[in-house]
Amino acid sequence: MKKTLILVMVGIIIAGFTLGCCNPERFAERIVEKAIESEGGGDADINIGGKVPADIPKELVYPGSKVEGSMTMKSAEGEGSTLVLSSKSSINRVVLYYKGLKKKGWEIQMEMFGSSDDGEGGMLALVKGSFGAVVTIGEDDGKTSILILYGEELNQ
């Protein structure tokens, strides 16, 4: 599953940058979906830009952020989603938001960040019920980038 996810993300990036005509985003999405399905990765639904996957809890979507891309995969092992967001908020503000999800029933199982004063990004592993999420926060071209991996397999 991890190998497939890495291949998908690389495929999306390459396809998104190299194709420049005829609705390149949807063309890239279909190529990556077929590659995942042919590798035995289950049913894949890729969206470059666009929408928040239906299975991601709303509180995991940073308020006011822009959806840059998403992917949902279904297989015999379960279902999981990836969501990429960008925000004009500072890294520190985004980190504080995700740490504050403890008040909404999320347990922080792991966190790796630089000091809160230096504005470095990092990662949080969150669990609520039978589901887990890994939230990676960093800086990209002057914006805060947020990558969320969510699903049943991530709760362990």
What tens-digit pLDDT sequence spans the chain (156 residues)?
A: 444 544 455 455 444 444 444 455 566 666 666 776 676 666 666 666 578 888 889 999 999 999 988 877 776 666 778 899 999 999 989 999 999 999 999 999 999 877 555 557 889 999 998 889 999 999 888 899 999 999 875 555
- Please, which residues have CB within 8 angstroms of residue 70's CB and are 6 or more apart in sequence? 46, 47, 50, 51, 52, 53, 81, 82, 83, 84
pLDDT of residue 88: 95
CB 41 within 8 A of CB 71: no
Paired tokens of 154: 């991530």
Q: Is residue 96 part of a domain?
A: yes
Domain span at residue 151 reads: 80-156
Q: Is residue 114 part of a domain?
A: yes
Q: Is residue 6 part of a domain?
A: no
pLDDT of residue 130: 86
The total domain count for the chain is: 1
- Report helix, strand or coil for 85: strand
If you ran DSSP here, which 8-state letter would residue 102 be given?
G
Q: Is residue 62 part of a domain?
A: no
Q: Is residue 125 part of a domain?
A: yes
Task: Specify the CATH number for the domain of residue 84.
Answer: 3.30.310.80
Q: Is residue 66 part of a domain?
A: no
Q: Is residue 105 part of a domain?
A: yes
CB 29 within 8 A of CB 16: no
Look up the pTM and report it. Answer: 0.70
- Report helix, strand or coil for 141: coil
